[in-house]
Structure 1
Amino acid sequence: MFIGRERELASLNRLYESGRFEFVVIYGRRRVGKTALISRFIQDKKAIYFIAVESSVKQNLENLSRNILEYGSGISADTSFVSFQAALEYVFKLAENERIILAIDEYPYAARSSRSLASTLQLLIDKYKDSSKLMLILCGSSMSYMEDHVLAYKAPLYGRRTAQMKVRPFDFADTCLYFKNFADEDKALIYGIAGGTPQYLQQMDDRLSVEENIKNTFLNPSSSLFEEPENLLKQEVREPALYNAIITSIASGASRMAEISTKVGESTSVCATYLKNLISLGLVKKETPYGEKSSKRSIYTISDNMFNFWYRFVPENSSVIARGASDLAYKRIEPHLKSYMGRVFEEICSQYLWKLLLTGKSPVEFRDLGRWWGTDPRTKSQTEIDIMGAQDKSTALFCECKWTNEKVGTDVLETLTERSRIFRYETEHLFIFAKNGFTQGCMEKASAIGRVSLVTYSEILKELLGA
């Protein structure tokens, strides 16, 4: 089932319709759906698709040759080109007379097996770019390799690409398209535990409850998701044990560099290097209080929901899970789901605010959004704001997000009003997002104040899904 990726497909089709040589770099984390995107794009077009393997140059050359010859003759052939240059030049020449797509998937495997491949492509692009109608696609899951050896200034192919595309996990709206049978609240819960990675979403069954899905995947030793985070790290990094320890420390509450360093038993300089790599992989993000470009108050959080859920709950219950006691493991996890979903709900609310901005419905045309935390100078106490965003030096919005079963009362509105006054904006607009609505008193007070939007989860879902 292919879902979403409308913008990516539209971009690829625009490039295809140009009729001239195009060179597109597609990259992104494993499991994110890059191959599915390429397959969808080329399904009704003349294309040669080659997926490299982690093997010898001979094996990859034979596979590429077979794909090229099958395209040219329509039959399988045992003949192989003498070199990558001969094979690729044949395709460039073939495309002088017709529009052809050559998609090389998992390009890093081919490039590592043949160190001259990048230089060969550089040579052929420079030679044929003005005469060939080839659309060349290089795709890779090794983010660091694609960024350092394909996109970077010192890379042989630098300056040759006509477009690049970083494929990211789905947002909440797209994940909802996967599930027709889940109740609205369950859609948010599934997004919170599986994130937006297509391969993880496919492990979820909307005919079952959220509890059953958690038991069948995260709490089941035979499930592919049970060992997925550790297996993915083994594929991406050289020292998975230390990376694993760093992510575990963050999931268990260590968010500042000093705290992470202490928990894993390594220096801050060592941890900084590993954290930088985790950020490049899209697994961890570094946050600073909104409006501060660099700060000693910076924190690290796990950016992928599936990884966050797994590291938060699976390792501490691994002994129980290994013994097949999924019911007991879930019983331990269930009381913490509400607090766990707090940050997920903030993420969903942020996506709602971006949707309002992009459709011209936002009361504040903010430049960006973020969390803020720090000291309230009036009370000298620590406080935080779930989401805030500024339009300019005089106008901003402030938001509070509540994933609770109770209706939100006036106390929440009063607290947000007070916290917004830490900043001195002339015009403020307040948003309060609630899972289950608001008390009558809260609605009356919001109406009296003005410039307050009270938004329920069902209204968020309606806006995001266009229902």
Structure 2
Amino acid sequence: MRFQGRTADLALLDKRLRVVRDAVATTPGQAVIVTGRRRVGKSRLVQEFCDRSGVPYVVFQASRGRNPAAERADFTAALAQSALPGADLVAGAAGADWNQSLRSLAVAVPEREPSIVVLDEVPWLVEQDGEFEGALQTVWDRYLSAKPVLLLLVGSDLSTMEALQEYGRPFHGRAARMLVRPLDPGDVQEMTALEPAEAIDAYLITGGFPEIVQRWKPGIDRKAFLEDQLGDPLSPLLMAGELSLLGEVREPSHSRSALEAIGTGERTFSTIANRIGAGEPIPSGTLAPILTTLTAKRIVAVDTPLATRPDTKNKRYRIEDSYLRFWLTFLQRGIAEVERGRGDLVAARIEQSWTSWRGRAVEPLVRVGLARLLPDERLPGAEFVGGWWNRQNNPEIDLVGVDRERPAATRIAFTGSIKWLENDLFGKRELEKLVAGSMSIPGREHATPLVAVSRAGVEESLPLAATFGPDELIKAWRR
């Protein structure tokens, strides 16, 4: 299947390879830790980069739970079968430990010409053998970093990959870090050939996960896509959510229950605890570390209100990517129906709740999009975009632009509201509600600019500093 999107990611990797080619760094060799959520397309991206690079490379992918000796044997075999100039020199070599196996890698890579080495699923190598990290550091320092090689360490377990760089760990300070995200809304529009508003719908459903976006036939609308996918029990739209969670969270577990609670609309600590405990809240000492772990894995995001007075305990939880949010809300419980040929029932439930679900799901995307459009002369001083709410969620302001996030803003640059309906314009009623609610935000002044974001458009002559619609949001990812 033709590779699409990822222009910025490919450019970033190519830039690191140019550093190796041009020998402009303190060491000839360069290392990059490439991480991101499962199924986001890291391995496909790295393979495409290697194929386009024009230099010899080797890609080795670890297997979870493998015997370390068998893993090292496969690693050596991959070296011997690669296009690296010294591949024949390591054929038949058997490393008694990772130190010896990685030294074989140092023999295989060329002395003067650039090459690429990819170790995929590094967390599984770390899990298998406690000596792997130390061996990697030793061989890198003594042998590999002295050669013009680009070493890419790829892995999906974000907490493990980030821990590789922590102070006190063997590989600390030796690698740059690259986070691979899902395809952005601009990529999704390009691949689906949809108008901006419909492309945003497609992004909210697919989350930008390549294997799902590639199933969206160019030009077809949301209903047609869902009808097609819900008629196939093996479609990526149905299966990717479960596969992703199985790689991250045991089932059944409190962690899985927490995800299901958040995915179906619970946003506060207390309501999540109540939902998991089925009326008897689970102890905060049990739930708090679960939420911390899910946040560290980038599965759950935590939002706090933006204002000139911090309120860090007033947290709201949400599923980080919109596809998993969509899957937990609509698809998880519908898989059995699809398997017995009743995908139409799932489609009907989606359609019934689509407008309300989309209205909430689009908010994080709008905030990111507006932040990407800054600076904007109509909104002076705005550098960060979030929202604001009190403990009772009354009022709840969709958009707040500030000059800084932490420890607190010193100036409110704008407040705004989102109306994401098919045909209804943002009008006087929505403006009055925004003005009244904004008065509660600490630091908001009478002259603070007002902003409207609307799918269908905005009524004329409203006293708004700026308005944004689907076209402008998509352009945020085209800049």
Corresponding residue to 1:250 among 243, 262, 276: 262
Given that 2:319 and 2:325 are in contact with CA atoms closer than 8 Å, whether structure 1 keeps it comes out as yes
Which runs of structure 2 are paired with 1:372-387 in the superposition (5 Å)?
372-374=388-390, 382-387=394-399
Describe how 1:199-348 pairs up with structure 2 within 5 A.
199-217=211-229, 220-265=232-277, 266-291=282-307, 293-317=310-334, 320-348=337-365
1:454 CA displacement:
2.6
- Equivalent residue for 2:450? 430
- 1:376-414 per-position Cα deviation (integer Å, ceiling 9, x unaligned): 9xxxx9211101111363451111111112122212122
Q: How many angstroms apart in 2 are the aligned matches of 1:16 and 1:445?
A: 52
Match of 2:406 in 1: none
Q: Is the alpha carbon distance of 1:35 and 1:420 closer, same or farther for their aligned partners in structure 2, counting shifts above 3 Å?
A: same
SS at match of 2:236: coil
Kindly state the Cα deviation for residue 195 of structure 1 after the two structures are TM-superposed.
0.8
Given the alignment, which residue of 110, 114, 123 partners 1:108? 123
SS at match of 2:445: coil
How far residue 459 of structure 1 moved from its aligned partner, in angstroms, is 4.1
User: What amino acid does structure 2 have at the position aligned with 1:22?
Assistant: Q
Task: Letter of the 1:142 partner, please give it.
Answer: D
Give the equivalent residue in structure 2 for 1:31: 39
- Distance in 2 (CA, whole Å) between partners of 1:159 and 1:459 is 40
Give the superposition deviation at 1:362.
Answer: 5.4
Asked if 1 retains the 8 angstrom alpha-carbon contact of 2:212 and 2:236, the reply is no
Aligned to 1:85: 99
Flag the 1:133–1:317 CA change in 2: closer, same or farther, 3 A: closer
- 1:355 partner letter: R
Structure 2: distance between partners of 1:219 and 1:273: 39
Alpha-carbon separation, structure 1, partners of 2:230 and 2:58 = 38
Contact in 2 for aligned 1:57/1:113 (Cα 8 Å): yes
Residues 210-243 of structure 1: CA distance to partner in whole angstroms, max 9, x if unpaired? 1232233357433233243233222223454432
* C-alpha separation in 2, matches of 1:465 and 1:326: 35
RMSD between aligned residues: 2.7
Distance 1:278 1:375, change over 3 A: closer
Change (3 A) 1:462 1:25: closer
Q: Does 1:42 align with 2:50?
A: yes
TM-score normalised to structure 1 length? 0.87
* Contact kept in structure 1, 2:29 and 2:144, CA below 8 Å: yes
Q: 1:38 to 1:145 in 2, by over 3 A?
A: same
Shift of 1:75: 7.7
1:127–1:346 CA distance, 2 compared to 1 (3 A)? same
Alignment correspondent of 1:9 = 10
Match of 2:369 in 1: 352
Distance 2:379 2:104 in 1: 57
SS in 1 for 2:267: coil
Residues of 2 paired with 1:168 and 1:56: CA distance?
31
Instruction: Give 3-state SS (helix, strand or coil) of 1:386's partner.
Output: strand
**Which of 174, 179, 189 is 1:160 aligned to?**
174
| Alignment partners' CA distance in 2, 1:362 and 1:7 | 28
The separation in 1 between residues aligned to 2:232 and 2:290, in whole angstroms, is 30
CA contact (8 A) 1:364 1:429 kept: no
Identify unmatched segments of 5+ residues in structure 1: none
Instruction: Calculate the TM-score normalised by the size of structure 2.
Output: 0.85
Structure 2 counterpart SS, 1:50: strand
For residue 126 of structure 1, report the CA deviation from its aligned partner: 2.1
In the other structure, the counterpart of 1:414 is 432
Residue aligned with 1:151, SS: coil
Shift in alpha-carbon separation, 1:319–1:26, aligned structure 2, 3 A: closer
Instruction: Kindly indicate whether residue 80 of structure 2 is the aligned counterpart of residue 69 of structure 1.
Output: yes
Aligned to 1:102, the other structure's residue is in SS state strand
Q: Does the CA contact (< 8 Å) of 1:101 and 1:135 recur in 2? A: yes
Q: Quick one: structure 1 residues 370 and 322, their matched pair in 2 at CA, closer, same or farther if it must change by over 3 Å?
A: same
Q: Secondary structure at the match of 2:136?
A: helix
Secondary structure of the residue aligned to 2:457 is coil
| Alpha-carbon spacing, 1:200–1:158, altered in 2? closer, same or farther (3 Å) | same
Offset from partner CA, 1:61-100 (integer Å, 9 cap, x none): 2222122223336789962333433332233244433322
Moved more, 77-86 or 151-160: 77-86
Give the whole-Å Cα distance in 1 for the aligned partners of 2:133 and 2:86: 27
Residue 299 and residue 375 in structure 1: after superposition, are their counterparts in 2 closer, same or farther (change >3 A)? closer
Q: Percent identity?
A: 25
